[in-house]
Amino acid sequence: MTTGICTERVAVVTGAGRGLGRAHALAFAAEGARVVVNDLGVGPDGTGGARGPAQQVVDEIRALGGEAVAHGGDIATADGAASLIATAVDAFGRLDTLVNNAGFLRDRMLVNLDEDDWDAVMRVHLKGHFLPLRHAAAHWRAEAKAGRTPEARVINTSSGAGLLGSVGQGNYAAAKAGIVGLTLVASAEMARYGVQVNAIAPAARTRMTEQTFADTMAAPEDGAFDAMAPQNVSPLVVWLGSSASAGVTGRVFEAEAGRITVMEGWRRGPTADKGARWTPAEAGETALELLAEAESPQPVYGAR
């Protein structure tokens, strides 16, 4: 058995058969956690399905002396999410950390974005975060009410696309922005039950990004720091998922290569109050004055 900052804890990681989720699952196990490795084994656009990837990661964790079980359900269904949480409790007797990570892309410019591609991406990311969160939250609330207030942690996966926008990713950006809103609400609602909820916006070389970043994200020659390896994102996730992160909740972190950034979100900027209704002309004049005082937004990814 491995000991570390997650010894005695049980972590569930969705979409952990590949990419970032796999790296997180292995990193939790390396810090002593017992891990439920969820993955539906779908293709890059969400089609198909196979149990192989989840089981392979379980085999890797066991080969390294850790404890893990596979869960092959779809986290965007009520049954899949309920059985995911039940798997942790049945296999290991408890649940401490939920990492919502599973997802896929259907990139299109808005004018070409089909309703199916909108629905599929909103479903896997936004509903696929909500449902496991909801079932985990119900479990932790019951534990708290039974006098066993947990030190529970949820790490949600947003994206720079959701925080700043990204050309060609209207569906994905909307879902990932929604995940930030969900994170803020869950953090506020669940604090009383001992649950902390944060989000990350990662960047790493996975099958999701290897084409987009083919030149800049290639693996380096031997010995150099592999900046875009998904394993570089996991240490922050593991710390957020441990009891060591006590007091940190409702925050969004960008995590990429060797860099961790606190994302500072929407806050009230320049403001004016007439104390009565504006005319449209007045409202426009005032809006322009306020904009002149305000900070400019950071650019949308891919915008010219």
Ligand X SMILES: NC(=O)c1ccc[n+]([C@@H]2O[C@H](COP(=O)([O-])OP(=O)(O)OC[C@H]3O[C@@H](n4cnc5c(N)ncnc54)[C@H](O)[C@@H]3O)[C@@H](O)[C@H]2O)c1
Q: Please identify every residue annotated as catalytic.
A: 159, 172, 176
Considering the complex, state which of residue 212 and residue 286 has its C-beta at the smaller distance from ligand X.
212
CB 9 within 8 A of CB 95: no
Contact between 204 and ligand X by CB under 6 A: the answer reads yes
Q: How far is the CB of 144 from ligand X (least distance, A)?
A: 28
DSSP labels, 121-184: HHIIIIIHHHHHHHHHHHHHHHHHHTT----EEEEEE--HHHHH-BTTBHHHHHHHHHHHHHHH
Contact between 263 and ligand X by CB under 6 A: the answer reads no
Beta bridge partners of 155: 99, 198
Contact between 14 and ligand X by CB under 6 A: the answer reads yes
Q: Segment near ligand X (CB under 6 A), from 4-12, 39-47, 140-148, 296-304?
A: 39-47
Dihedral sign of CA atoms 83, 31, 157, 145 in order: positive
CA distance 181 to 240: 18
Q: Out of 32, 46, 150, 178, point to the residue binding ligand X (CB under 6 A).
A: 46
Give 71's DSSP letter.
E
Q: How far is the CB of 117 from ligand X (least distance, A)?
A: 14
CB 233 within 8 A of CB 202: yes
Token digits of residue 67: 């404890």
Contact between 19 and ligand X by CB under 6 A: the answer reads yes
Distances (CA, A) of 207 to 20, 132, 201, 210, 211: 10, 24, 17, 5, 8
Contact between 168 and ligand X by CB under 6 A: the answer reads no
Closest-CB residue for ligand X?
Answer: 19
CA distance 122 to 162: 12
Q: Segment near ligand X (CB under 6 A), from 97-105, 109-117, 142-150, 237-245?
A: 97-105
CA distance 200 to 103: 14
Contact between 207 and ligand X by CB under 6 A: the answer reads yes
Q: Out of 55, 83, 87, 101, point to the residue binding ligand X (CB under 6 A).
A: 101
Binding to ligand X (CB under 6 A) within 53-92 occurs at: 53, 74-76
Q: Segment near ligand X (CB under 6 A), from 133-141, 199-207, 257-265, 276-284?
A: 199-207
Q: How far is the CB of 265 from ligand X (least distance, A)?
A: 17
Residues that bind ligand X (CB under 6 A): 14-15, 17-21, 38-42, 44, 46, 53, 74-76, 101-104, 124, 128, 157, 159, 202-204, 206-209
